[in-house]
Amino acid sequence: MTKIVLADDEADVLDSTSMVLRMKGYRVTPVQDSTQILSTLKRVRPRVLLQDVYMPGLKLDNLVRAIRREPALRALQILIFTASANAEDACRRVGADGFVKKPFDADTIKSTLERFIIERRGR
């Protein structure tokens, strides 16, 4: 079962997205406090981090750099989870692997995520 860490400060988004992803067969660990992201990643060792762009106390580029420095998290796929107008730019700016736009289509989210997971495996 593929593990996903989902980080978002909005409780409704966090709860509902976690639920959708669980229904799609993922094991989801939700994180609402940005200071807990890195430690959760180290503990859970997920395949994917689905990361909200704007969280209180979060500097996304710093987080991405810290993750990339962590040998244990080498296989981690960082996807930004954003309602922003230009997700592509945000993704490039922080050096993430991809993005999932808010709102996402719950019917196709699994195929979107699998595409990223397969891509990473192929590297």
As a whole number of angstroms, the longest Cα–Cα distance in the chain is 35
Whose Cβ is closer to another protein: residue 56's or residue 107's?
Answer: 107
Q: How far is the CB of 3 from another protein (least distance, A)?
A: 20
Least Å distance between CB 66 and another protein?
25
What the block records as the tokens of 29 is: 């660990």
Neighbours of 123 (CB within 10 A): 6
Hey, which residues between 1 and 20 contact another protein (CB under 8 A)?
Answer: 10, 12-13, 16-17, 19-20
Residue 110 binds another protein, judged by CB under 8 A: no
Among positions 1, 57, 74, 108, the unique one binding another protein when judged by CB under 8 A:
108
Dihedral pair phi/psi, residue 23, rounded to 5°: -65, -25
What span, in angstroms and rounded, lies between the C-alpha atoms of 103 and 83?
7
Report d(CA 93, CA 109) in Å as an integer.
Answer: 24
The residues in 47-106 that bind another protein, with binding defined as CB under 8 A, are 54, 83-86, 101-106
Nearest to 50 by CA among 108, 3, 115: 3
Q: How far apart are CA 54 and CA 39, in angstroms?
A: 19
7 or 67: CB nearest another protein: 7
Instruction: Please say which residue, 2 or 84, places its beta carbon nearer to another protein.
Output: 84
Summarize as ranges the residues that interact with another protein (CB under 8 A): 10, 12-13, 16-17, 19-20, 23, 54, 83-86, 101-108
